[in-house]
Amino acid sequence: MSGTPTVRCRRLTVAYGPRTALADVDVEARPGEFLALAGPNGSGKTTLLRALLGFVPVASGSAEVLGSPVASLSVRERARRIAWVPQEEIPRDDVPLLEYVLYGRYAHLRPLERESEADRRAARAAADEVGLGDRLADGVLSLSGGEKQRAVLARALVQEAPILLLDEPTAHLDIGHQLDLFERVRRLARRQSVTVVAAVHDLNLAARFADRIVVLARGRKVADGPPTDVLSPELLERVWGVVAVLRREPRSGVPYLVPFRPGPAPPPVGTLGPGPIHVVGGGGAASPVLRALVDAGYRVTAGVLNLLDTDQETARELGVPTVVEAPFAPISEEARAANREFLGRARAIVVAPFPTGHSNVGNLEAILPYVGPVPVWLLARGPAEGWDFTGGAGARALEALRRAGATEVGTVPDLLRECAARLASPPVAPA
Amino acid sequence: MGDPTAPLEAPPPVARRRRWWPAVALAAVLAAALLFSPLVGNVTIPPEIVLRILLQHLSGGALFASPCAGYSVSPTLCTAYNEIVWEARLPEVLLALGAGAALGASGASLQGVFRNPLADPFLLGISSGGTVGAAFVFVFQVDVPQQDLVLPLFAFLGSLATGAVILLAARSRFGSVETLLLTGVALSSFLSSVLSLLLLLNPTGSLQVDFWLLGNIGSGTWPVDGIVLGTVLITGTLLALQGRELNLLQLGNDVAQSLGVDARRVRMRLILLTSLTTAVAVAFTGVIGFVGLVSPHIVRRLFGTDYRLVVPGSAIIGGAFLLGARDLSLWVFPSSVLPIGIFTAFAGAPFFAYLLYRRRAGAPMGGG
């Protein structure tokens, strides 16, 4: 991860006709370094890679590999310096995997020269490296999506180029294959001192594997540094327009962002008027409430829900703005704060009969200050043994809400009647 | 289904196809077509005598004093047989072989360059250029002593001029293969309108143009065979040597380029070579359809999609296909000179439709 940069862009500008795709971008990467290019769609990640590959002309500035401008190199010379893994390659012909991997040797062969035994050994080793060593005789069309991408990676490996460019190589892969591919690429960068530059649209994936992240937005560089410096909720909001909570993986300290997108901006706290109804739930208990309220035309918010929770998924489907916490994690202070903001903007609060454990009892406790200023409805629950798994804290919190003036409603239709009666203004928009 | 924690087993590897059998099969097809075709003709000649005539010439007269010795054939008839086989049938057979090989190799290369299974030597308008060139001769009644030479020359120049236009388009840095293909289609239409205009000016050439458009291998003579076979041998070899590049181009221009193939240069080289090859064939035979289109598909079906084999294989299958069409036309209509293009299309069109529908129903048809 030291030494002179193998990839160097200086004030690189690329234009497609009148549209500037990349403007004045400075990027460097060194041997053994895994550099991630992040940014929303259309930010110029792919264009930067294509400029390095010589696929698009440089309008001004420079794109250099191993000290030479890309444009000055022959196609063959480029292929010896740079290997490329595209987003998705769709082979037309059912070429045996061994042949397919051997295509990577093309730039090393003289015209009409046949692949040598050494070339074949390299191809077999590369196939082993990506875990396809036992599929060499199979046609590439018989490979699965993840295997196909690994086959392309193997072909890139036998190019033996000091630079490896990847263009969102896992965009079409599931999470397991994404992690697998990036893990292999990172190992390769370390072991063979290959410079890796990868366009990655998943910031968390980038933070997990990259040594450095360059963030592009609208063709400009907006951040450049190690993941711990670059990742921040502010960046995510500024570049992607997404509100998120920053967490750290406990063991590795790798930062990751838990995003949630706010709905149309609610009115400022304290102003009267038709604010949203905030629903507290979890474990699927709030799903019928969320559907009924959204169907009736109310604006609805929800929180705090764990990612992948049934209620969280319902909320996402319905487009309900939700404060989200990492899966199975206790509610963090960041999420609490975001939830308080939602509670403060609500014109009514509904508490679904969700099972209460240590991780989410805070959701009940957080409501107390708002009972009184806005109506709080508690959907009927059975005896505490059925839902309270905190050894009493849940039941106590619920009792406190009742004493403060929260009203119990029996069923979801009862709730809708209460809403119609108590909330002065009619639903903001018919469903 | 057993223990869920057990590692999933991959299916056993498929046995690798032996590499020599395509070459042997192609050589056998070629030999069979070459041996059989001289036996077919308007005059029935005993097969043994045909064979002996061929052997006698090939051995430089060393093998037999007379090819008919030992058979009840008069010396006059024997001389006639010799004339028919060696001076009429064989040149025609070799022209069919050369033209078929030219069209087959060109078709395979163009399908590879354009990554399009419908590409063939005529799609780019090269034949239309040849037709316009030939029409000039017919319409303006160009009358020179070497009439036999003028027609091929004009047709050749017409084809080559069209190829040059396509090549200019291919030089453009940003033209995609689709653009290039559409350029060819547009050029083809344009040339067709020029042809119509020429015929409007002088309708007397119309019948000759019609005949020319259906293809004809009757112009085969030894010098013609020399030109056609010589060209095909050279350009066909050069085309076949681009097999590896064609294989890589199938992955798309960008990927091929990232692997070291200068896609634009390879494309230009192949268009130049196929134009030349097609122009030579068209000059002497007129327009013979379907050979260039169908031969590569047959080869891919039989031997797989590796262009290192598809290009030379298509040359051989194309040659054999055209010979077969010649034999068929002579067998069905023994006493008339029938344009061979009728028979290639007659056999080729249904086969082509079959390929198309099979493709839709089953596995993807590779390569094209």
Respond yes or no on whether the N-terminal peptide bond of residue A242 is cis (omega within 30° of 0). Answer: no
Average pLDDT over residues B250-267: 93
| Helix (H) / strand (E) containing A139 | none
Alpha carbon B268 to chain centroid, angstroms: 20
Average pLDDT over residues A289-297: 84
| 3-state SS class at B261 | coil
Least confident of A114-128, A139-153, B146-160: B146-160
Tokens standing for residue A239:
């570049």
Judging contacts by C-beta atoms under 8 Å, the chain A residues touching residue B305 are: 92-95
B252 touches chain A (CB under 8 A): yes
| 3-state SS class at B349 | helix
Query: How is domain A277-422 classified at the CATH fold level?
Result: Rossmann fold (3.40.50)
Judging contacts by C-beta atoms under 8 Å, the chain B residues touching residue A101 are: none
Q: Where are the alpha helices (DSSP H) in A27-116?
A: 45-53, 75-81, 97-102
Average pLDDT over residues B260-269: 92
**pLDDT at A326 (0 to 100):** 80
Q: Is the pLDDT of residue A120 over 90?
A: yes
Closest CA to B130 of B51, B3, B257, B215: B215
How does residue A274 score in pLDDT terms, banded at 50, 70 and 90?
low
Average pLDDT over residues A3-31: 92
Closest CA to A161 of A67, A78, A50, A82: A82
Class of domain B97-361 as given by CATH: mainly alpha
Q: Is the pLDDT of residue A389 over 90?
A: no
Closest CA to B305 of A141, A120, A85: A141
How does residue B18 score in pLDDT terms, banded at 50, 70 and 90?
low
**pLDDT at B12 (0 to 100):** 44
Flag if A53 and B257 touch (Cβ within 8 Å).
Answer: yes
**pLDDT at B314 (0 to 100):** 96
Order of all β-strands in the sheet with A19-29:
A19-29, A7-16, A60-65, A68-69
Average pLDDT over residues B189-213: 86
A83 CA: distance to closest CA in chain B (Å): 7
Judging contacts by C-beta atoms under 8 Å, the chain B residues touching residue A93 are: 247, 250, 305, 366-367
Tokens standing for residue B367:
């390569």
Strands A407-409 and A243-248: unpaired
Kindly list the residues of chain A whose beta carbon comes within 8 Å of any beta carbon in chain B: 53-55, 74-76, 78-80, 82-84, 86, 89, 91-96, 99, 103-104, 106-107, 112, 134-138, 141, 155, 159
Query: In whole angstroms, how far apart are CA A148 and each of A25, A49, A230?
Result: 32, 21, 32
Closest CA to A56 of A47, A67, A68: A47
* Domain residue ranges in chain A: 7-230, 277-422
Gyration radius of chain A over CA positions: 27
pLDDT digits (tens, 9 = 90+) for A240-253: 777 777 777 777 77
Residue A351 burial by Cβ neighbours in a 10 Å radius (0-12, 13-18, 19+): buried
Q: Is the pLDDT of residue B147 over 80?
A: no
B277 CA: distance to closest CA in chain A (Å): 22
Residue with tokens 């619920």: A398
Judging contacts by C-beta atoms under 8 Å, the chain A residues touching residue B252 are: 89
Q: Report the CATH superfamily, name and number, of domain A7-230.
A: P-loop containing nucleotide triphosphate hydrolases (3.40.50.300)
Is residue A82 within 8 Å of A74, Cβ to Cβ? no
Judging contacts by C-beta atoms under 8 Å, the chain A residues touching residue B250 are: 91-93
Flag if A92 and B261 touch (Cβ within 8 Å).
Answer: no
In chain A, the residue whose alpha carbon lies closest to the alpha carbon of B266 is: A75
A214 CA: distance to closest CA in chain B (Å): 24
**pLDDT at B17 (0 to 100):** 52
Q: Is the pLDDT of residue B176 over 80?
A: no
pLDDT digits (tens, 9 = 90+) for A99-115: 999 999 999 998 888 88
d(CA B37, CA A270): 98
Is residue A98 within 8 Å of A137, Cβ to Cβ? yes
Q: Is the pLDDT of residue B125 over 50?
A: yes
Flag if A78 and B251 touch (Cβ within 8 Å).
Answer: no
B8 CA: distance to closest CA in chain A (Å): 13
Is residue A32 within 8 Å of A185, Cβ to Cβ? no
Interface test with B, best of A77, A81, A87, A93 (most B CBs within 10 A): A93
Residue A265 burial by Cβ neighbours in a 10 Å radius (0-12, 13-18, 19+): exposed
Tokens standing for residue A412:
């979801």
d(CA A65, CA A353): 61
Flag if B364 and A106 touch (Cβ within 8 Å).
Answer: no
d(CA B164, CA B272): 8
**pLDDT at A273 (0 to 100):** 45
Q: Is the pLDDT of residue A147 over 50?
A: yes
Respond yes or no on whether the N-terminal peptide bond of residue A304 is cis (omega within 30° of 0). Answer: yes
Query: In whole angstroms, how far apart are CA B4 and each of A149, A243, B7, B8, B9?
Result: 26, 41, 8, 9, 12
pLDDT digits (tens, 9 = 90+) for A325-349: 887 777 888 888 889 888 988 889 9
**pLDDT at A223 (0 to 100):** 92
Strands A68-69 and A60-65: antiparallel
Flag if B257 and A82 touch (Cβ within 8 Å).
Answer: no
Tokens standing for residue B18:
């032996």
pLDDT digits (tens, 9 = 90+) for B296-331: 988 988 888 899 999 999 999 999 999 998 888 888
B12 touches chain A (CB under 8 A): no
d(CA B91, CA A265): 86
Q: What is the largest CA-CA distance in chain A?
A: 88
* Domain residue ranges in chain B: 97-361
Residue with tokens 């009644």: B141
Q: What is the largest CA-CA distance in chain B?
A: 88
How does residue B32 score in pLDDT terms, banded at 50, 70 and 90?
very high
Average pLDDT over residues A228-235: 84
Average pLDDT over residues A224-248: 81
Terminal alpha carbon distance of chain B: 41
pLDDT digits (tens, 9 = 90+) for B37-87: 999 888 888 898 999 999 889 888 787 778 887 888 888 999 999 999 999
Q: Do domains A7-230 and A277-422 have the same CATH topology?
A: yes
**pLDDT at A431 (0 to 100):** 35
**pLDDT at A203 (0 to 100):** 84
Q: Is the pTM of this model over 0.80?
A: no
Is residue A315 within 8 Å of A342, Cβ to Cβ? no
Flag if A78 and B364 touch (Cβ within 8 Å).
Answer: no
Closest CA to B255 of A16, A86, A354, A27: A86
Q: What is the DSSP string of B290-328?
A: SHHHHHHHHHHHHH-S-HHHHHHHHHHHHHHHHHHHHHH
Flag if A53 and B251 touch (Cβ within 8 Å).
Answer: no
In chain B, the residue whose alpha carbon lies closest to the alpha carbon of A87 is: B255
**pLDDT at B335 (0 to 100):** 67
Alpha carbon B342 to chain centroid, angstroms: 15
B238 CA: distance to closest CA in chain A (Å): 11
Above pLDDT 90, what percent of chain A?
44
Q: Which residues of A216-239 are buried (b: 16+ CB within 10 A; e: fewer)?
A: bbebebbbbeebeebbebebbeeb
pLDDT digits (tens, 9 = 90+) for A23-68: 999 999 999 999 999 988 888 999 999 999 999 999 999 999 999 9
